[in-house]
Amino acid sequence: MSLLPTAELHLHIEGTLEPELILALAERNGIELPYANLEDLRAQYQFTDLQSFLNLYYENMAVLQTEQDFADMTRAYLRRAAAAGVRHAEVMMDPQAHLSRGITLETCVNGVASALATSEEQFGVSTELIAAFLRDEPAEEALAVLENLLAMDAPIIGIGLDSAEVGNPPRDFVALYERAHAAGLKCIAHAGEEGPPEYIREALDLLKVARIDHGIRCLEDENLVERLVEDQTPLTVCPLSNVRLRTVDTLTDHPLPQMLERGLNVSVNSDDPAYFGGYMDENFNQLQGTFAFDANQLAQLARNSVRSAFITDARRRELL
Ligand code: HPA
Ligand code: ZN
């Protein structure tokens, strides 16, 4: 299958840290990992739910110590994404996951941003950076970190909300999102991955987000589906992630075809590709192998990603 030019809208840069790079950075930084070798590390990548993945995801971040480490991780993603047909990437990062380990905002933000800055020239991939906040940590902490990002004039285009969803509803983060809107930032949030449709409504009504990350549980609420179709709210769906985190049993059971059929604005994204078995191309390959989408459906998925991106109309025209 030829590669579709796409925009990747749902991607956690820390989730692109491949096992080989984890071991290399551990060596470079003199960090002891609880794994003897690559095989031992790879054996950990079996998840039962979101939390079981998050435990390993946060643990592996210990190897990210210097700006260079963050830049190397980011550059490796961009190279791989370009090979997967990605032409524009909106990259989330989790500043709190680094601050809590004693890594400064400057180190993590500048490291990621320095690789993004040369991406268009180096890989032909335009980029934006989004700061995601951890919903299982206090909302006051998130707001303080946002203030610090604004004070340092961090090159972020927007904010997101991620980590353990159930029990950590969007309504707890109203002040954070009000501040972000006031600062002119784009606003997105994970909702309806493991959490109920009500969380998608809260993200829309209370946080006033422009896109929903995942959103697949909207299908449990017919009124909500109708609203999302009417407004063409982008839902950044991550098929391989949903399978690996057991949100769906198998790819065959994934609701993406149904979502497309209903006229929802769905795109395909890789989420944490180093953990979930594939980048953009592999997501499309497996979807194609499972659902045999026709050319129109494939083009619709690619077009949805471009029309939902935070880019200028001129850039959109280049990509459509
Ligand atoms: N869901 C929620 N939080 C996350 C994810 C995810 O898939 N990846 C990294 N943080
Ligand atoms: Zn995600």
DSSP per position, 94-133:
-HHHHHTTT--HHHHHHHHHHHHHTHHHHHS-EEEEEEEE
In a domain, 181, yes or no: yes
Question: Which of 50, 135, 193 should be mutated for ligand 1, with most atoms under 8 A from CB?
Answer: 50
In a domain, 246, yes or no: yes
Cα–Cα distance measured from residue 215 to residue 236, given in angstroms and rounded to the nearest whole number: 7
In a domain, 318, yes or no: no
**Binding residue per annotation — 190?**
yes
* Strand ranges across the sheet with 265-268: 6-12, 86-93, 126-134, 158-162, 186-191, 211-214, 234-237, 265-268
Q: What confidence score (pLDDT) does residue 288 get?
A: 96
Closest alpha carbon to 273 in 109, 91, 65, 88: 91
Residue nearest to atom 4 of ligand 1 (CA): 163
Catalytic positions, written as ranges: 193
Closest alpha carbon to 286 in 242, 320, 244, 239: 239
β partners of residue 6: 86
Which residues constitute the domain of residue 27?
A: 6-309
Give the whole-number percent of the chain exceeding pLDDT 70: 99
Is 80's pLDDT higher than 70?
A: yes
Instruction: Write down the ipTM of this complex.
Output: 0.97
In a domain, 129, yes or no: yes
Q: What confidence score (pLDDT) does residue 2 get?
A: 61
In a domain, 319, yes or no: no
Tokens of 107: 């180190």
In a domain, 314, yes or no: no
Q: 40-67 pLDDT, tens per residue? A: 999 999 999 999 999 999 999 999 999 9
Question: Which of 9, 163, 235 should be mutated for ligand 1, with most atoms under 8 A from CB?
Answer: 163
The CATH number of residue 28's host domain is 3.20.20.140
Looking at the 3D structure of the chain, how many domains does it have? 1
- Which residue ranges have their beta carbon within 6 Å of ligand 1? 12, 15, 50, 57, 162-163, 190, 193, 241, 271-272
Atom of ligand 1 nearest to the CA of 57: 9
Q: What confidence score (pLDDT) does residue 248 get?
A: 98
Residue nearest to atom 3 of ligand 1 (CA): 163
In a domain, 29, yes or no: yes
- E-strand spans in 147-239? 158-162, 186-191, 211-214, 234-237
Interval between CA 319 and ligand 1 midpoint (Å)? 27
Interval between CA 10 and ligand 2 midpoint (Å)? 6
Q: 127-168 pLDDT, tens per residue? A: 999 999 999 999 999 999 999 999 999 999 999 999 999 999
Is 184's pLDDT higher than 70?
A: yes
**Element at 149 (helix H, strand E):** helix 139-151
Closest alpha carbon to 154 in 217, 106, 222: 106
**Binding residue per annotation — 214?**
no
Is 306's pLDDT higher than 90?
A: yes
Q: Predicted confidence band at 3 (pLDDT cuts at 50, 70, 90)?
A: confident
In a domain, 317, yes or no: no
Q: What confidence score (pLDDT) does residue 1 get?
A: 52
Ligand nearest to the CA of 240: 1
Closest alpha carbon to 256 in 239, 272, 271: 239
This prediction's pTM: 0.98
